Amino acid sequence: MKKILTIMLLALATLSAAAKGKAQITFDTTAHDFGTIKENGGKVSAVYTFTNTGDEPLTIITVTNGGCGCTKPDFPKAPIAPGKKGEIKITFQPKGRSGEFNRSVKVKTNAESGRKTLTFNGVIVP
């Protein structure tokens, strides 16, 4: 019985130590509404601010472009220290498009949660 209890306590201690050493990404907001924008008004950008709320450095591995050439992400390439902030900037080109749009980009990190989705929407008028 003592042997089983000892094994259980060691397993619990190992799991607890593993859970502590993780990066964690926490966004101030994950959605942006551009409202009404003009097709020929030029590019528009949204900035998504985040904090590494974990215990280890946060690395952003990739940010998708939303599936089209109209969206360009910009993100920190260097690791973000625990407690520090960073920004992901998404630039959208409305030229050649009209009507409502709803887009998303996926953020892949080394954080415990793995992937996060950022969304943006609006209406493009001629």
Average of per-residue pLDDT across 34-47: 96
Dihedral angle, C-alpha 73, 79, 84, 86, nearest 10 °:
-10
Q: Are 96 and 50 spatial neighbours (Cβ–Cβ below 8 Å)?
A: no
With 50 as the cut, is the pLDDT of residue 48 above it? yes
Expressed in angstroms, the distance from the first to the final Cα of the chain is 76
With 80 as the cut, is the pLDDT of residue 56 above it? yes
pLDDT of residue 10: 47
Domains defined along the chain, listed by start = 23-125 (2.60.40.10)
pLDDT, tens only, 64-118:
987 778 999 999 999 999 999 999 999 999 999 999 999 999 999 999 888 999 9
pLDDT of residue 20: 58
